[in-house]
Amino acid sequence: MQIAEGVQLVTFAILSILLVGAALGVVLFANIVYSAFLLGGVFISMAGIYILLNADFVSAAQILVYVGAVNVLILFAIMLVNKREDFKPLKNGWIRQGSTAVVCGGLFALLSAVSIVTPWSISTVSPLASSVVPIAKHFFTDFLLPFELASILLLMSMVGAIILARRDFLPDNLGATSTQDSLTLPERPRELAGK
């Protein structure tokens, strides 16, 4: 075993442990904000595994799209809902837990069978050159307008989510206020800001 293979093996083991630990944290934590942050850890660990597989563009897309967009969108949705309710026991809740356990066990058995049956051989073919440069050339020449329109659309949706999240604090009697006051959003009350 060469030094590079040992480093790859240790890196893969560390990333796998981080991936499984963060995934378990996503499922087991009761606080949904902690689960959303750990989901970002899952995505970053997957990006590290993609780097080990010489898939540099897929790794960068994983970080940009999933960590930078999807995970932030999930956090915005959590902040937008912002309802605190205690857990209430469900009637016949054991049926849901049992069916979830059966589905998870079946998926685990299926994936285990596939990983055992698959012939895992090490390829001696040299890796291909990086595909980032040709894809970047297409992004900034042929597809520049859709790329920039998508970023503007994401910015508009983020600003809209912030405005909708603050809508509860608008005064009820907007007609009694002046025009200058109606164009500004009031600040969050102090008793709610501490929660």
Residue 163 lies in a domain: yes
Residue 78 lies in a domain: no
Residue 123 lies in a domain: no
**Cα distance between residue 144 and residue 146, in whole Å:** 6
pLDDT of residue 112: 93
> Both tokens of residue 164?
């909708």
Residue 194 lies in a domain: no
- The CA–CA distances, whole Å, from 31 to 38, 78, 125, 191 equal 11, 11, 46, 22
Question: Could you list the residue range(s) of the whole structural domain that residue 6 is in?
Answer: 1-71
pLDDT of residue 21: 94
| Residues 94-122 pLDDT 10s | 888 899 899 999 999 999 999 999 887 77
State how many domains the chain has.
2
Residue 88 lies in a domain: no
pLDDT surpassing 80 at residue 183 = no
- Specify the DSSP class assigned to residue 64: I
Residue 96 lies in a domain: no
Residue after which a domain boundary falls, among 71, 86, 107: 71
In the block, tokens 């440069």 appear at 133
| Residues 27-74 pLDDT 10s | 888 888 888 899 999 999 999 999 988 888 889 888 988 888 788 878
**Cα distance between residue 46 and residue 15, in whole Å:** 8
Residue 189 lies in a domain: no
Q: In whole angstroms, what separates CA 58 from the centre of its chain?
A: 15
pLDDT of residue 43: 93
**Cα distance between residue 83 and residue 80, in whole Å:** 9
Residue 175 lies in a domain: no
**Cα distance between residue 41 and residue 39, in whole Å:** 5
